[in-house]
Copies of this chain bind each other. A is one copy, B any other.
Amino acid sequence: MQTTETTQRIVLASRPVGAPTLENFRLEELPIGQPGPGQMLLRTLWLSLDPYMRGRMSDAPSYAKPVGIGDVMEGGTVSEVLTSNAPRFAKGDIVVGRTGWQTYALSDGSGLQKVDPGRAPISAALGVLGMPGMTAYVGLLEIGKPAVGETVVVAAASGAVGSVVGQIARIKGARAVGIAGGPDKCRFVIEKLGFDACIDHRAPDLAARLASACPKGIDVYFENVGGAVFEAVFPLLNPFARIPVCGLISMYNATSLSPGPILLPHLMRAILTKRLTFRGFIVSDFAARYGDFVRDVSAWVGERRIKYREDIVEGLENTPRALIGLLRGENFGKLLVRVAPAST
């Protein structure tokens, strides 16, 4: 048993004002608890870092309740079962769940799923075969509904969600146009992921370059950034365009909301005259589609029709810095923390 060992965890020390800083987090070390009846001890192998975490650090009203001050930061994890008193799980099992920013966790198994290490690398359960992949799948197919020959635009196109959105759009016969930060990411999006085009939002004349990459306008805009990218997209939206609203990462660190050039009446007028659909969603709204998602995306990954890239940070202690970087677009691919190597 591990009772003489210690577990490390990162708690929310204070709520950020604007961009998070290292001072908003605190690393704690404490003894590992003993699993009680029905419980298991898990060792965290992989921790997923995702933009939604910025929302959990704030106490502004949202769809989920915030992390409390002094509480362990939330996060999706892939873990190894070290000891189990839980009937569904055995020592050595690999499980995916939401055990947070810590090296060990006790769990009664609720909310955990077994991961089959034979199907794909286990870290994929936090990316293409996990929450980000399913977010892309349901947002694009349930709300975006791309038709053959339509144009789908997605920002953060090299990231965990955007990369899957564009590749599924291509599978469905649509034209996929990505937006990403910098020439390396854009090259990757076109050459490795097979998008039809990719626009660097850091270069000048975003609107003009996006327009020339979308000669027939935009039918689906998968919104996960907001801000300047939305402003470039807005005039290009075609009649009957669908806008799944998945995230607004450009606003997450904002301390005040700037009016920007597009006013509410402009948007409402465009919704009316172009018959646009804007619809917000979170992945759990479509939990009923989980089986379809696993079936389809597993097959597409197996056929190499969906590719993915991971950006791996070593060690729990580097997690705060990695999240801060994610919110600045510094990651390149699905951002993961390797918390520990698997013992197998």
Contact = CB atoms under 8 A, between A and B. Distances in A.
Interface string A248-266: 1001001001111011111
Nearest to A282: B275
Nearest to A55: B273
Contact of A257 (B248, B254, B265, B276): B265
A227 to B, nearest CB: 8
Interface in A269-308: 269-282, 285
Interface residues on A, range: 35 or more
A271 B278 contact: yes
Nearest to A223: B268
A207 to B, nearest CB: 16
A226 interface: yes
Contacts of A75: none
B275 A285 contact: yes
A267 interface: yes
Give the one of A230, A257, A268, A281 with max B CB within 10 A.
A268
A247 interface: yes
Nearest to A271: B280
B63 A273 contact: yes
Interface SS of chain A: helix, strand, loop or mixed?
A: mixed
Contact of A264 (B63, B263, B280, B285): B263
A62 interface: yes
Interface in A65-111: none
Give the one of A62, A267, A269, A274 with max B CB within 10 A.
A269
A216 B49 CA distance: 36
Contacts of A260: 263-265
Contacts of A63: 239, 273-275
Contact of A269 (B230, B248, B274): B248
A245 interface: yes
A274 B63 CA distance: 7
A324 to B, nearest CB: 21
A269 to B, nearest CB: 6
Nearest to A61: B273
Nearest to A251: B265
Interface string A38-49: 000000000000
Contacts of A223: 268
30 contacts: A61-B273, A63-B239, A63-B274, A63-B275, A223-B268, A226-B265, A226-B268, A247-B272, A248-B272, A251-B265, A257-B263, A257-B266, A257-B269, A258-B263, A259-B264, A260-B264, A263-B263, A264-B264, A264-B267, A271-B278, A271-B279, A271-B280, A272-B280, A273-B280, A275-B282, A275-B285, A276-B280, A277-B279, A278-B279, A279-B279
Interface of A: 61-63, 223, 226, 230, 239, 245-248, 251, 254, 257-260, 262-282, 285
Given A248-B269, A258-B263, A277-B279, 13 more contacts: A63-B274, A223-B268, A226-B268, A245-B268, A246-B272, A254-B265, A257-B269, A258-B265, A259-B263, A264-B264, A275-B281, A275-B285, A277-B280
